[in-house]
Structures are given as structure tokens and as C-alpha cells.
Structure 1
Amino acid sequence: NYTGIPYPFGKFDFLLVPSFQFGGMEHPGSVYYNAPALMLDESATQNQKLGRASLIAHETAHMWFGDLVTMRWFNDVWMKEVFANFMAAKIVNPAFPEINHDLRFLYAHYPAAYDVDRTAGTNAIRQRLDNLDEAGSMYGAIIYQKAPIVMRQLELLLGAASFRDGMQEYLKAHAFGNATWTDLIATLDRRTPDDLAAWSRSWVEEAGRPIIRVDLKANGEAVESLEVTQEDPITARGLLWTQPLSVAIGYRRDGVGTRHRMTGRALRISSGATVPDYVLPNSDGVSYGNFVLDPSSRASLLENLPADEVARGSALVMLWEEMVDRRVAPRAMFDLLMKALPTERNELTIQRMLSYLQQVRWRWFRDAERANSAAAVETTLRAGLNAAKTPSLKSAWFNALRDMAQSPSTLSWLESVWRKTETVPGLVLAEPDFITLAQELAVRGVPDGEAILSEQIARTQNPDRKGRMEFVRPALSADPAIRDAFFAQLKDPVKRRREAWVLEGIGYLHHPLRAASAEKHVRPSLEMLLEIQKTGDIFFPKRWMDATLSGHRSPTVAATVTTFLEGLPAGYPDRLRRIILSSADDLFRVTRQARP
């Protein structure tokens, strides 16, 4: 209905592949899927169910966007992905009426896009490609997460009906042929008085995000001036990002958002009103940028998040970005999450908070801080698990507890759950849950860790899961020599063929609890990246570096990465250098190292 073009191919088959390295692959008439992504267990979370529906819709949309109309060259490969995501949302959203889809879009796109776009390794959405041997390294969060944000803004700029009509014209004009981003912009440009070429330069052709500052000046109890300004972090470039901007003026937890259009460097909002508790830019979760709150708003939001679901989610993401930029202390973010989690009722926000809590503790806290907070965290997680009303929500709380557990009492309880002498009321654990539980117990060095792994392998009925667990097991060993041998074998490309298995093993090898003994593997992992790019799939290089570096927070590892980057030979692929910079960004920030 949306495209105005009937399904263009003769058949539409699904083929489910165990351990398929992609979520899906859009072959015309026969889509390949990663089997576990579609065959969910009873304990699947709400996010996993939404993810399955979105994956199917994404691959279905590719039949029109990518297969019916294909990019002329790989510099526009992002187009097929962004429109598949764009259409997937339109397909899936009506099937989940209980979900706040504006909030889901915020969580599904902004944090992942910011994770790359804030780094020195970021890239433009539309990238130049001179040789197809580097095409695989073009994929990532900028294409899959930032581009849909930008496309939603383009739809808002034109209006939904004009945008749809332009898309229909574009598809019909280029059916069973090739087209470029320039072709689409020319089609849409006829439907708006705005200069889409200038808009495209800021949003599509250049990398990065604007710095958007709130400047609140008070005169006693009255607002003297309230202004929002934007600037290009690269001063010499001087870009302007035209976009809608909703600003909420909040008193207590309630705020009323007013949408404006930011077309210049400054936007004057108001004066004369009573000084609010907070000013929240992007209260509707549509705008994109590095938002810098004024000090009073920052303090207020760290104490109490807004009542509105989307505004609350936007504030949460914004405060996280402020923490990453060192405008908010990790301890203050931790305190906010611990205070907010027990009263939060939205499952999407609970899962986002649990994810942030896990990242604060494993990456941003020192070992002593993590140990000292363990009892309070585990008490909060157990309470959340007991209070959760749905299996999906119980699963989210249980998974967080399993992944963050450290205290002997909680580990003992988790071991009892694994042994099936304890149960979690209202939650049915499936085979993958018991596998992960066994592995998490082993990496924590519980006394019976090896026996637990052996028994779980014997218990496992699914042959693919059994094979995966047998492959990963050496990375979980309490013996450093066995772990070292696991890494050494990965220098053989044949041993890296099952990439999902490799990444799981590397993640455990570099787990924060094992990070000190894994430091020696960081330099060899960096040295292997070029070969991995040549022998692996398109996502493997970035995932390899993420798995290698995400468990580390030591200055020694940061120095290792810096030394490697500074010594790169002439001709080393720039995209791989950017992948390293992107994956190492949190490490540099945590250790306060200057980035190369």
C-alpha cells in the first residue's frame, strides 16, 4: 500500500540457518534468517519479540528497497538499509499497540548512533568507496541507526503524504534498475521549498552531530532569557543542522514541550516566566545532537526524571551522553538509575536503565566501586525480579541480575537456579538461558565451574548450541594457559568461521573479571584486524574490536591501542583505523587518555 507497487517477485520463502552471521539476508524471493532470531524461547523479552517482528519486516521491505531498486554503487548502500528500517517501523508498529513506538524508536536508534558518532572514528552516512574490497567496512551504526533518524527528520520536513508520494515516484522510475541518493533528493526536492541539497550536506554527506546548548539566565525568580544554540564541533567546517526541536519547560516532574524549528545557530525560547526546575531540549525524542544542559536543569533531572514517557527516555539518554562527556559523574548516573528503577513501569525504559546500570558498573566504576555497590545492586535487581508482572519483564530483570552478580549469596542462588533446585516464579527458563547461566557462573570462578560446564554440555539437546558451548568453553577456563590457547587458535582463519561463536569466546576472554590476564591479547587482536577484514563478514571487524576492548578500563590497554594507531603504516585502511578509534572511545574516556 505504501509503495503503490505489488510484491515484485514470484515467490517469498523463509530459510532459517543456525549460526547465520547476519540477522537476515534479502535474496529476492527467498530470505535467509538467523534461526535463533526467529525461533524465540518462552523467556523472550518484549524487546526480543519486537526485534523479531522488525527483522522480518526489514527483510520484507528490502524486496522493494534494495532488490526492486538497487543502488548504483556502494557509496549508497546505506539507502537500502535506511528504507528497510524506515518501512519496518511502519509495518510493525500497528501490530504492537501496547508499545510507545516513539519511545522505542528513541532507544533503538539514538544510543547506538551516538556510540559511534561521538567518537573520532565516526563517518558520514554517505561514504566514498573506491574499491569494493572495503565495502563490508561501510556497515555499522551510522547506516543502521543514525540514517533512520535522519530519514524520519526528512519525512517531518516534507510531510508524511509528500514524502510517501515522492518515494512512490522514485520506486516506479527506477524499478528493476539502479538509482542514487542524488536521484531521490531530486525527486523529493520538487515537493518542498526547502533546499534539500544543503540539508543533505549536513545530515548525510558529513560526519558528526551538532553541539546543542541550553543557556538559561535568571533574574531572581524570573527567566531573563532562555536560548538554545547549536555549533559544529569542527569549527572550521561551520555546518548548520536544520531540524525540529521540542523544548520542555518543567516544573517538578511535569513539563510542557513546544516544538520549534532550529534553522540557525540560536533559538530564543522565552523570557519573563518563573525559573523552571528544568529545561529539556528534545523532549519529544526527535532531535539529534550532543545536548549540553544548563547546570540547574542537569541537577534537577538527575534528581527526578520527567513524568512523560518519551521526555523521560530522552532525558535518560541525554544524561548518559553527559556522563560519557564527563559533565555528569558516573556515580551520579548510578544513583539516578538506582533511584529510578524501582518505580519505573515502562518495560522499554526498564531495559534501557538496566543496560546503563550494567555499563556503569563494568566499564565506568573501578573494581572497588563495583564491589562496594554489589549488594545494593543485587538487592534492587532481586526486588525488581520479584515484582515484575510479566514473563518478559521478569526475563529482563533476571538477565540483568545474572550478568551483574558478584556477591557469594547471589552466585549461590543463581547456581541453585541452574541446578533446578530453585525456580523463578513466573519465569520459564529455556535451554539457552541455562547455557548462559552456566557460562556466567564459570567466568566468575565459582568452585564447581568446570563441572557445571561439563554437565550443561551434557544436558544440551540442540546440536548447534552444544557445539557452540564446546567451542567457547576454553575461554571460560580458570586456567590462564587454556584461555591463551583459545586465543592462539583464532589466528587460523578456519577457526574463525563461526563468527558468533568466536565473538562470544572473545567476550568472555576479555570479561572485566578477567581483563588483567587478557591485556596481552589486545595488541595481537589489533594486528589481526586487517586479515579479519579480508576473511570475515561485513560486521566482524567492528564486533571483533568491541569484544576485545569492551571489558577493559586500564591505562595500559589504552596506551597499547594508542601505540598501535600511532605506528600504523602508510596505506593502512582508514576505515579500519576508524573502527579501532570507535571501539576504543569509551576506553580512552574512562582512562582520560588523549585520543590519537
Structure 2
Amino acid sequence: MPNQTCIRILFVTVFLLTVPALIFAQAEPGVSRSLAKERAQRISNIRYDLVFTLKEHADTVAGTATVEFDSESAGDLLIDYRDGALHSAVFNGQPISTQLDHGHLHLPAQAGHNILKAEFSSNAAPAGKAITRYEDKDDGSEYFYTLFVPMDASMAFPCFDQPDLKAQFTLSVEHPDGWTVIGNTTARRIDGAHTRFDASRKISTYLFAFAAGPFAAIPAKIAAGPTIYVRKSQLQRAEQEAPQVQSIAARGVGYLSSFFAQPFPFPKYDLVLIPGFPFGGMEHAGETFLNEDSVLFRTAPTPSDYFRRNTLILHETCHQWFGDLVTMRWFDDLWLKEGFAQYMAYKALADLEPASDPWKHFYQDIKPAAYGIDETLGTTPIYQSIPNLKDAKSAYGAIVYQKAPAVLKQLEFHVGSEVFRNGLRLYLKQHAYANAEWNDLIKALEQAGSSLHSNNAADLESWAQAWIQHRGMPEVNVAWSCEGGKLSTLTLSQQDVLPDGYTWPISNLVDLHFKSAAQSNNKQIRVDWNTPTTSITEAVGQPCPVFIFANAGDQAYGRFLLDEKSEKAAATEIVDTPVTQQDPLLRSMLWGALWDNVHLAQSSPRSFVDHAMAALPHEPDEAMTRVQSARITTVLHSYLSEEARKSTVPNIENVVADRMLHAPDLALRIVSFRAFTNIAETPQALDTLKKLLQGQITIPGMPLKPLDRWNIIGHLLLMNDPDAQSIYSTEKEKDHSGEGQKYAYAVASGVPGAAVKARYFEQYLHDASIQEDWITQSLRPFNAWNQSALTQPYLAKALDSLEEIKQHRKIFFLGAWLSTFMDGQNTLVASNAAQLQVHQWLQSRAIDADLRLKVLEAVDELERTARIQQKFPD
């Protein structure tokens, strides 16, 4: 009989050797940075062979995945899969447990080559899922599309769902007969119900995608133009827009290929118009998905609308290089793709269509959103530390989409255009089909600067540390004096807009503006500085200027304020001087500086409106009219008392209505119509809107489109016009289109009734059948400016739902949710109570840090409104 002690020792030894391979440490939800680093160091040569089966009206999508990879070592390895059912898993020829551990499957990996074969069913739904199912209410057709950014590929199939584990994808789709499937690569149609795609180049999981349904194809008629795919019910409308869209995309590919000295990185390029898409676009490798509404205009378009569409298309096209060819290693460097795509879109248009004045649009459409966030306590650095990819959605917002491109504009000015271009070329060449971090870009720029002997590019790391890794921005003030008709002193000072006390390196142009119709007589002086104050000795002895503006050309990033003397002179200049004698960009920036003084409660809102209204009847610039109208609307609805608003609004209505009907340019009439629809308040103005609907009044050259009509009806509803309900019912009965049903749902949320608000809020949170774009469209009328008493009870409830929204909604939904519920309380009556309520909520809730920042960011406007109202009560 064997020795019992020896047997026990042998048993314990074997148990200790085998248990680590059988019992795994518990995983945590999401993809942590530590897990990502471990996997990136361990595995390589990843290949996915995926098969999906799509069935109409199905809530799930069945699939199989064959995942091959090499592992440097043996041991437990996590692969990601969540929000679905894993039916079987065979790993290296042996069945393994399909039990999921916080969204992960444990793999007993071996050193060398490994193969996982899995069968699964993933969820599909109208909203909140990685696979979206869309019903076309125009013809009853159904469409599927995927959206995996930032880490939702693992909701659709088992994968290593992190951006730095690039892989080769092969896709097969079983689908209803006659459907078209669009993927990252060229499709090989096996039969009417089976489509297989060529293997892709190496891409990140979030860049893999497909769309399927009875799409119609619009081939390009120009060389290098992309094919456009659109749902068949919208083919006629898409055919009208396709030539211009395909042209700008093809020209963009040519421009960017030349600028980057790198050919288009993928074998083909398609544009897929997606109905109800939650973003403007998404840059899947070789196939960009575009929001259908961003391409097929639902209202009468203006040149600015076409401009925005062009920048959208160029933005997504640039991503094929910045994001797809070279991908950030982790989502804390999200700006490496979004900031560059945004900046290069404007830069490309500056060369391709300079007459559209891209840099003026850049200042008007990019800078305000960046500044508006960066002055709040909720702001973050451009580089945002993200410990787990489940929190990566919070990185999306104005900091990466608006501040990052604005800082890149300053970077190019700082180092020079040649260094900037050569650095980007080097960066793309060094990291093609791989991943990079922000310091890789800085090194490439420094290397390019060294070859060109650029002093400003010699130490970019400290410059980048300041602008990329610090939050906030400088506020720059100007002090100057003259003696004997000559400048005697000129000093710039900067201070942090936040209590952090940081000092930035700044490169800017100071404009000395003389009283002369010849703008070339003005003097511009470049200043490179990184101190709290700097004296500009070069300016001493120049003729005494009428005013000084410290950010000519919009090269620098920060809040550049007008001193008291310059404020008065600039206001007179831009109102009294003929527009043809003014520089468009400088003029736009001076209006922006005047608005900044209102924004900071340093100047009266009424005074700004007076100046704006003096200029508006003669304003020839459609984009400027749009911007000024929005500012005037903000003053009316947020900064003025009810008495002051009611005394002011009739004159504004009259001026805007006259421009709507009689402005010499169609674009001016269109933007004036939009402004009038937002501000109409008196019975006479509301009557004008009704006459527009009835055709008794017409806008020359602008027949009303369905969305124009629904916008009018929505305004009549929220203003509680006595005829609004009957007009709404008539229009709803008449417009049975899919878009009409969406608009009817959205505008009805603005009906001023407690029961209406209760019903909609319940649907927002608990009705999964309502598509996300329907909800997004309805949030603003729900939170109408004149219904703060009705919506106040929902502010705390909206805050309570933030964690659920962050987990289940798409990236930008949370920002829209927060901003609209805050805006609904941004009035004289409500703002003080609302900000107190929000801060009490913050003190009583243990929410994660990034959500807390989002709330602080959103509540800032309530606090600002209260300050303005306190200082300027009338």
C-alpha cells in the first residue's frame, strides 16, 4: 500500500500546478489600460473571419467568429464579448466554457498560434445597440448598420476590442435576397442572399463596419469619386446631391494624398448615407457612414449649409489617414484623429474653395464652442486620461473637435507651414497601419523642424505639454498709450481663465488699426511669448491707432479682449464703415470680441443688441447674419427680463421679417426666416408664420420644405398659439413620410402641458422602440425657453439618469441631454434656482469623475446668465 503522506504531497503538488490553468482571476468590466497593455505586449498577428446572418425584424443577429492570433506566452487571456449570447466556443480544438466574466471570455492560451471558433447571437435594436436596426417608415424597408466606436465591437462579436490591436478582417453576410451589403473592402456577391468581402488591411476593431439593406448605389461619374449608397426611398433626392458630394470627396482625396505625400490608404472608398445616424459621420476604413440629414438637406440650404457639408465630408475623408492609417494607441489621444481631421478639412477647403472663406467659418463655427467649454470648471486637457475604455465616450466633445483643431492652427503658425506639412508626412510614414501617441507626432515635427533649421520647432515638447496636457486657456488683455500722435507703450498680459494660474506659450499677431479705408495701412506685429506680460517694443513710434486687436488672423487660442477704448472704436468701425472696406475675418472677430464682453458681464446685452440691430439691415454676409441672429436670440431668451424682452422684440421681429421677405440675396432670406421662426413672439409675428404656412405670404425663391413647415408648427406649439393644435393635426394628417412622423413626434414635445412633459420623459428613459434620433430631435422643444416652470421638475430626474445614458446611449447623446435640460432653465426666472439645484445634486451624488465634469461644464451657462442678469437687470 503506498505511503499516505506521499500520496497527499503528490495530490497537493498536482493541484497547485493545475489550478492556475483552471481557475482564472475575475475580470473587470470594460477594457482597462492595464489589460490593454498586457494584451498588446502579448498577442499579435490577429485575424478575424466573421459570418453574420441578418433577418428582417429580428432582435438578434446570429454569427460565427474565427479568431486567430499569436501569443508570446501561455496562460489566461481575456477576449471581449458582451450584450449577447455565446452559444459555443472551441479554442485550439477543445470546447471551453462559454461563461462570460464581466464582458470577457477566458481563453487558456498557448504560446504560439491560437484559434478560437465561437457561435453567438448579438442584439440588434432601433437604439442603444452596436447593431442598429432601422425601419424606413416611407416604404417599410429595413436596414442594419454597425457602429462600434469606441469599444462596442465586442457587443457584436468576440474580439480584442482596443485600438492598438489592429487586425485583418474577413466578412461574410447572409441576408434577405436582393439586399446590398457594404463593408470595409470590395464585396464578392456569391448569390442574392450571400455577400463575402475581401480581407481587409490591418485596422482597429472600432473601424470595422458593415451596413445592409435594400440600398441603392449611385456610382460616381468622375475619376476617384466614391460610390454613394442610400436607402431606396431617398434615391431621387440623393441623385440630386450626389455630384457635388462625390466631387468634393474626390478633390479631397487628391488634395490630402498630395499634402500627406501618402496615397489613399485603402483599396476603395464608399459613402453610405445612414438614416437616424447618431453622428455627423463615422470614418470606417474604406467606407464612411454619413448622417443622411447632413447630406440630403431637409430645409432650404444656404452657402453655410453647403460649407458645413463639405467640411463634414473632408473631415471623414481625412480620417482615412489620421485615424485609420495611423490610429491613436488609446482613446486619451482621441484628438490625434479628431483634431487633425477637423483642422485639415478647413485647410483643404482654404485651397480647394478659397472663395468660401474657410478661416472665417473656422472662427465662427469652431472657436466659440471650444472657448465655451474651456472657461468652465468642467473642462479637461486635450489629452484626457482614460483608465478604462468604458469611459472613452466622455472624451468626445468640444475639446477634441473644436479646441484641438484651434490649437493645431496655432501650432502651424508657431512652427511654420513647411515644418508642419513635413512633420505630418513623416508621422504618417513612420506609423502607417499601426498606432501612435501624441509625443510621436511632436518628435516628427521636431525632426522636420531640425532639417529646416526652425527655432520654433526645436523644443516643441514644452509647447505641447502646455497646450495638450493642461486644461483651460489664457485671457489676453491689451494696454496701450499714445503721446504726440505716436504709440508710446503697448503691453500684452495673460491670465488663466480658470483658478489654476497657468501661463501659456502664445504666438499671435497684434493688429494696429488705423483710421483708413485702405486696410493694407494697418500694422500687424507677430509676438511669441510665454510670460504673464510682454511689452511690444516694435510698436513704439507707430502712428496712434484707432483700436488694437491682439489676435489678428485668428492664429492664437484664447480669449482676446478689447480694451475699453478699442471696444468703443471697434463697435463704431464695424457698424459705420462700409462692409466692403472691412476684412471679413477681422470684422467677424471684432463682433466676437464685443460678444465676449457681454458674455463676461462687462458690457450690457442691450447695448450689444442695439449695435447688432444697427448693422443687421445692411449685413451682406449670410454666415454673419446667422451668428448675430443666434446671439440676439440668446439675449432675448436668457439675458433680458420679461419686460425688457417684450419692449425689445417687436423691433427685432420687424427688422428680421423685412430681411426674410426683401433681402437681396436668397441666403440672407433663408437665414432670416430661420431667425424669425425662433424669435417670433408677438401676435403679429405669429400671424406672419401662419400666413407663411398657408401660402398667403411667400419668401421669394424659397418654397417651404417639410422641415421648414414643421419648425414653424413647432414654434407655434411652444408659444401656445391658439391655432397651433389644429395646424399641427392638419399637417400630421397630410405628411405621412418617415421624416414627417419624426418631426411630428419631436415638435409635439414642445406643447406646454404637464401631461405632455410627463409622457415624453417616460418615453425617453423607458421606451426602447423609439429611435435615438427622434429623441434627440425632441429634446430642445421639450425644454423650450419659455417653459422652465414645466420642465424644472425634470432637471433632477435628467441628472439622475446620466449613468444609464452614459452606458446605453451613443457618444454625443449625453451632451445633448445635459445641455438641453440646462438650457431649459437658462432664463431670468429659473437660472438662479436651477444652478442651486444642480450644485446640491452634485454634492449629494457619488458619480464618476467624468460625469461630474460634464455637469460642471453644462451648469456654467446658468451661472453666467445669473451674473449677467444681476449686473444688467434691464
TM range (shorter): over 0.9
Residue in 1 aligned with 2:684?
409
Aligned counterpart, 1:261: 527
Q: Secondary structure at the match of 1:260?
A: strand
- Which residue number corresponds to residue 658 of structure 2? 383
Partner residue, 2:122: none
Query: Shift in Å at residue 491 of structure 1?
Result: 2.5
Alignment of 1:184-263 (within 5 A): 184-192=441-449, 193=455, 194-218=458-482, 223-233=487-497, 237-251=501-515, 256-263=522-529
Could you tell me whether the CA contact under 8 Å between 2:515 and 2:545 is conserved in 1? yes
Equivalences for 1:514-593 in 2 at 5 Å? 514-552=787-825, 553=827, 554=830, 555-569=832-846, 572-592=847-867
Q: Determine if contact 1:123/1:208 at 8 Å carries over to the other structure.
A: yes
Determine which of 475, 485, 495 is the counterpart of 2:749.
475
Listed as ranges, the matches of 1:285-304 within 5 Å are: 285-304=554-573
Give the whole-Å Cα distance in 2 for the aligned partners of 1:476 and 1:332.
Answer: 31
Shift of 1:414: 0.7
Structure 2 match to 1:343:
618
SS at match of 1:215: strand
Contact map agreement 1:8 1:64 (CA 8 A) in 2 = yes
Once the 2 structures are TM-superposed, how far is the Cα of residue 176 of structure 1 from its aligned partner? 0.8
Native 8 Å contact 2:553 2:585 kept in 1 = yes
Of the three residues 433, 436, 456, the one matched with 1:176 is 433
Q: How many residues align?
A: 590
Distance 1:593 1:385 in 2: 30
| Farther off after superposition, 233-242 or 284-293 | 233-242
**Are the aligned partners of 1:210 and 1:290 in contact in 2 as well (CA < 8 Å)?**
yes
Q: Does residue 92 of the first structure (1) align with residue 366 of the second (2)? A: no
Unaligned runs of 5+ in 1: none
Do the aligned residues in 2 keep the contact of 1:283 with 1:315 (CA within 8 Å)? no
1:359-378 pair list within 5 angstroms: 359-378=634-653
CA shift, 1:72, in A, is 0.6
User: How far apart in 2 are the matches of 1:238 and 1:23?
Assistant: 35
Q: Secondary structure at the match of 1:9?
A: coil
Which secondary structure does the structure 2 equivalent of 1:513 belong to? coil
Alpha-carbon distance in 1 for matches of 2:500, 2:763? 47
| Aligned match of 1:494 | 768
Please give the secondary structure, in 2, of the residue aligned with 1:592. helix
Tell me the residue number matched to 1:101. 358
Q: CA deviation at 1:162?
A: 2.1
The answer to whether 1:419 aligns with 2:419 is no
SS at match of 2:260: coil
Residues 493-512 of structure 1: pairs in structure 2 closer than 5 A: 494=768, 498-512=771-785
1:277 maps to 2:541: no
3-state SS of 2:263 partner: coil
Shift of 1:41: 4.8
The DSSP-based 3-state class of the residue aligned with 1:262 is strand
**Structure 2 residue matching 1:251: 3-state secondary structure:** coil
Aligned mate of 2:719, from 411, 436, 444: 444
Shift of 1:23: 0.7
Q: Which residue matches 1:56?
A: 313
How many Å apart are 1:151 and its aligned residue? 0.9
Note the alpha carbon deviations across 1:406-448, whole angstroms, 9 max, x for none.
Answer: 1111110111111223211221221111111111111111112
Q: After superposition, give the CA deviation of every residue in 1:286-331 in whole Å (9 maximum; x if it has no partner).
A: 2221223221112222333273211111111112122111111211
Decide whether aligned partners of structure 1 residues 284 and 93 sit closer, same or farther in structure 2, where only a CA change above 3 A counts.
closer
In structure 2, distance between residues paired with 1:168 and 1:455 = 58
Q: 1:35 to 1:78 in 2, by over 3 A?
A: same
Return the offset for 1:234: 5.1
Deviation, 1:105, is 1.4
Question: Secondary structure of the equivalent of 2:494?
Answer: strand
Contact 1:390 1:426 in 2 (8 A): no
Q: Deviations over 1:25-83 (max 9, x none)?
A: 11111111111110125710111111111111111111111111111111111111112
Question: Is the 2:506–2:556 Cα contact (8 Å) retained in structure 1?
Answer: no
Is the Cα–Cα contact under 8 Å of residues 2 and 164 in structure 1 kept in the other structure? yes
Asked whether the equivalents of residues 757 and 790 of structure 2 are also in contact (C-alpha less than 8 Å), the reply is: no
1:199–1:242: 8 Å Cα contact kept in structure 2? no
After TM superposition, the score normalised by the length of structure 2 is: 0.65
Question: Residue 30 of structure 1 aligns with which residue?
Answer: 287
The 5 A counterparts of 1:157-168 are 157-168=414-425
**What secondary structure sits across from 1:190 in the alignment?**
helix
Alignment of 1:149 with 2:406, yes or no, is yes
Residues 362 and 551, structure 1, Cα contact 8 Å, conserved in 2: no
| Corresponding residue number in structure 1 for 2:385 | 128
Pick aligned residue for 1:325 from 600, 603, 624:
600
SS for the counterpart of 2:721 is: coil
Counterpart in 1 of 2:10?
Answer: none
Partner of 1:397: 672
- Across the aligned residues of Structure 1 and Structure 2, the Cα RMSD in angstroms comes to 2.1
Q: Deviations over 1:498-541 (max 9, x none)?
A: 33322332211221111122111111111111111111111111
Q: Distance in 1 between matches of 2:650 and 2:501?
A: 49
Question: Which structure has the highest helix share of the two?
Answer: 1
Contact preservation (8 Å) 2:711, 2:747: no
> 1:101 & 1:431 partners in 2: Cα distance?
30
Larger deviation, residues 22-31 vs 150-159? 150-159
Cα distance change of structure 1 residues 568 and 592 upon mapping to structure 2, 3 Å threshold: farther
Kindly indicate whether structure 1 or structure 2 has the higher relative contact order, using CA contacts under 8 Å at least 6 residues apart: 1
* Aligned 8 A contact 1:453 1:473 in 2: no
Note the residue ranges of structure 2 that are not aligned, 5 or more in a row: 1-257, 450-454, 870-874
Report which stretch shifted further, 500-509 or 143-152. Answer: 500-509
Instruction: Report the counterpart of residue 19 of structure 1 in structure 2.
Output: 276
Partner of 1:454: 729
* CA 1:507–1:366: 2 relative to 1, 3 Å: same
- The 8 Å contact of residues 248 and 283 in structure 1, kept in 2 or not, is answered as no
Alpha carbons 1:65, 1:83 under 8 Å: kept: yes
One-letter amino acid of the structure 1 residue matched with residue 812 of structure 2:
F
Give the match's secondary structure for 2:824: coil
Checking the alignment, whether the CA contact within 8 Å between 2:747 and 2:781 is kept in structure 1 is: no
1:101 deviation in Å?
2.1
Measure the CA separation in 1 of the matches of 2:623 and 2:411.
26
Which whole-Å CA distance do the structure 2 matches of 1:112 and 1:336 have between them? 23
1:246-301 CA-to-partner distances (Å, cap 9, x unmatched) read 32334378671413123133332334556433222213222221223221112222
Rounded to whole Å, the distance in 2 between the matches of 1:202 and 1:62 is 26
Query: Deviation per CA, 1:473-508, whole angstroms, max 9, x where unpaired?
Result: 54132432222221133221626x533322332211
- Measured in 2, the distance between the counterparts of 1:235 and 1:34 equals 40
Deviations 1:352-408 (Å, cap 9, x if unpaired)?
111211111112222222211111101110222234233222111110011111111
1:165-199 deviations in Å (ceiling 9; x for gaps)? 22111111111111111111111112333311110
Scaled by the length of structure 1, the TM-score of the pair is 0.94
* Bigger mean CA offset, 362-371 vs 392-401: 362-371
Answering whether residue 631 of structure 2 is matched by residue 356 of structure 1, we say: yes
Contact 2:513 2:548 in 1 (8 A): yes
CA displacement at 1:223 relative to structure 2: 4.1
Q: Which has the higher strand share?
A: 2
Mark the CA change 1:224 to 1:395 in structure 2 (over 3 Å): closer, same or farther.
Answer: same
